[in-house]
Amino acid sequence: MAASTTTAITQQAAPSAEAILRLFPDIDTSSAGLEGHDEEQIRLMDEVCIVLDNDDNPIGTASKKLCHLMTNIDKGLLHRAFSVFLFDDQNRLLLQQRASEKITFPDMWTNTCCSHPLSIPSETGSNLPDSIEGAKRAAQRKLDHELGIKKEEVPIEKFRFLTRIHYKAPSDGKWGEHEIDYILFIKANVGLHPNRNEVRDTKYVSAEELKELFKDPQLKFTPWFKLICESMLFEWWENLDSGLEKYTNEQEIRRLGAAPMTATYSVLVAEDKTPNLQLRHPGLWLSGYHGPGSDAL
């Protein structure tokens, strides 16, 4: 498997609401840049994601579009995500190939389901246990939406939270990802009814079969999936039936592949002295920051 092109993350002081707002003075909330894309995928870009500081504390919300524009990502806009790895009773991993209609990373192969908890009460959490539960509920919602897997087939209690990864990766010149991604494992035999607007193809693979797929230059894989595979996936997979407990409920965030924040970002954080704010900007809602580092702002 080719090495990832992303770079190691550098920790920075957590930003206040005002600091982030000043990073995005000209946020584009129009449909510009979406012309020619699939209408349903354009509609989904209005979904509201959870905006985070570097320590996974929610500090506001922004549309899916704003969170995935590289101009915003390169300034530090970070949001919450989840990645589901679903295994059948033969311990084969279910992969999906993203639909051609997808605006970001179209036609790429990836893990079972990758998406975002939304800024709704059932999927948002301000502490880790609540955030994990929110990610699991979001996973149920999206497994149904993308693959037709009903929540009864993937009950909340069967999901196992392993860790969080922080990474940054471009899709093309306009779109990309910058996420803290909750890694969820589940073992279940499920019925598949893929939504062809979301999923082009599916495939169950063993660990060895997946390694062979990575050798095929004709196949393209999402950057987060490659990062997870290059770090821990195969070790986790080996322990799926016995010993996985030692890898679950990790408290620290793994900084697997994200570019360092810009110098401008650091300067703005250092200049700001008013962390307890309620600020609003079209398409970006920021609540007062009270997380680690706020006393220094």
Strands 176-187 vs 79-87: parallel, antiparallel or unpaired: parallel
Query: Cα 8–51–62 angle (5° rounding)?
Result: 125
**SS3 category, 166:** strand
Alpha-carbon separation of residue 232 from 7, 139, 254, 256, 288 (angstroms): 17, 21, 11, 11, 35
Q: How many Å apart are CA 121 and CA 112, to the nearest integer?
A: 25
Query: What is 1-66 written as a DSSP string?
Result: -PPP--------PPPPHHHHHHH-TT---SSTT-TTS-HHHHHHTTSEEEEE-TTS-EEEEEEHHH
Please report where in the chains the tokens 């929110």 appear, as a residue: 134
Q: How many Å apart are CA 22 and CA 268, to the nearest integer?
A: 8
Cα 133 to chain centroid, rounded: 15
Q: How many Å apart are CA 65 and CA 116, to the nearest integer?
A: 12
Q: Is 244 exposed, middle or buried (0-12, 13-18, 19+ CB in 10 A)?
A: middle
Q: Which residues contact 138 (CB under 8 A, 6 or more apart)?
A: 82, 115, 116, 117, 118, 123
Joined tokens for residue 291? 């997380």
Q: How many Å apart are CA 113 and CA 278, to the nearest integer?
A: 34
**SS3 category, 161:** strand
Catalytically annotated residues: 114, 179
